[in-house]
Amino acid sequence: MQKSLKFKPSIKDLAIDALKIEREYSLDWWSHSSIFRYNALMVSSFYGMKWGNFRQFYNIPKNDFLFVADSGGYQVSTQKVAIEPTEVLNWMEANVDVGMTLDVPPLDMSLKVVGTFENFKLAARHSKRNYEIMYKNWNGKPELLKVIQGGTADRLDYWYNFTKELEFTGLAFSPKPVNEETLAITLAYANHVGDKKVHVFLGTSENISPITIYAKKFFDRLTFDSSTCTSSATRFRNYFLPYNLSKSITFGGQYKGKLKHLSCSCPVCKLATIDDFRIEKGSHATKTASLAGSLIALHNIYVYLQYYDFLIALSDDEEAYRTFLLSRGLNNTVKMLDFLDLAEQVGFYDAYNKVFGQVP
């Protein structure tokens, strides 16, 4: 996560009329001076621990705000570094509202979160050791969610039961691969075991987000995260289309399009133009590229939040919700909504056996 950036739109820095705005804006969406404000943020402890006073350093609010930290287990495993659970816990206690237990993801040799059941069991044993240390030293603050790996009934059962005696505030699930089926299975399982505060890692896209939004009725608090909005913007300058989030325009050095303006009413697009989203060549290329990526990221976050708000409102009418999703061609998404309801009616295992086959 990069240091907080400040910019004053002007003819030099942005291709807009400087008279449109007169005050300084922040690119941090949690700031009151941001182009627009959103009241939640999630970081990996692996990166956040570089600053002991992370919350203070980045001026993250303490009131009316939810600051969540992943444990950094994936980065620890893939980058082959050693971090003790107590280090993670101490940093979380000083900075965040909700943290995650330090898990050891079940990686195969290619560092993908898949692999044999034996590798999965080994990862669960290593993770339990970390969970036990955190549990022994945890004083109840911040909230801690116990990470459960797995995307099938047998793997979810194994990891959950293996660590069952260690009760934290709630659960965090990491379904792999992330698709409609694994997300629905994970959420139905979370409902089955009865935890009411649940987080799902990387649970966003036009086809899977509606599943998470629909499942909120089963929980007191259901949260999810995604790096798609920001990473695709900063790396590729992918600008998500407001009316079709599965599509994007890439405003990079190779952009050869003829668009002159964008019909988007988000706060970012009201201030910036297409030229602001371009990567320019020359001595200021790095600064310009960073600003362009940050602006696109804010746009992407805003239009995704609008999509979520729409889904949340529409989900009160389940028939209308399904009709909308079907009109978007999201047939498999609707099937997974039906699975969630079936699991609620007949039980997780009977529903799983009927839809996905016999539980091993």
Most confident of 36-40, 80-84, 352-356: 352-356
Segment 99-138, tens digit of pLDDT: 999 999 887 655 555 668 888 999 999 999 999 999 999 9
Question: What is the set of domains in the chain, with CATH numbers?
Answer: 28-230 (3.20.20), 231-312 (no CATH), 313-356 (no CATH)
CA-based radius of gyration for the chain: 22
276 neighbors 292 (Cβ within 8 angstroms): yes
pLDDT band at 254 (very low <50, low <70, confident <90, very high): low
Tokens of 213: 């939004």
Mean pLDDT of the chain: 86
The Cα–Cα gap between 324 and 226 comes to 23
Burial of 239 (0-12, 13-18, 19+ CB in 10 A): buried
pTM of the model: 0.86
Q: What amino acid is encoded at 151 in this protein?
A: G
What is the distance between the terminal CA atoms of the chain, rounded to a whole angstrom?
41
The pLDDT assigned to 17 comes to 41
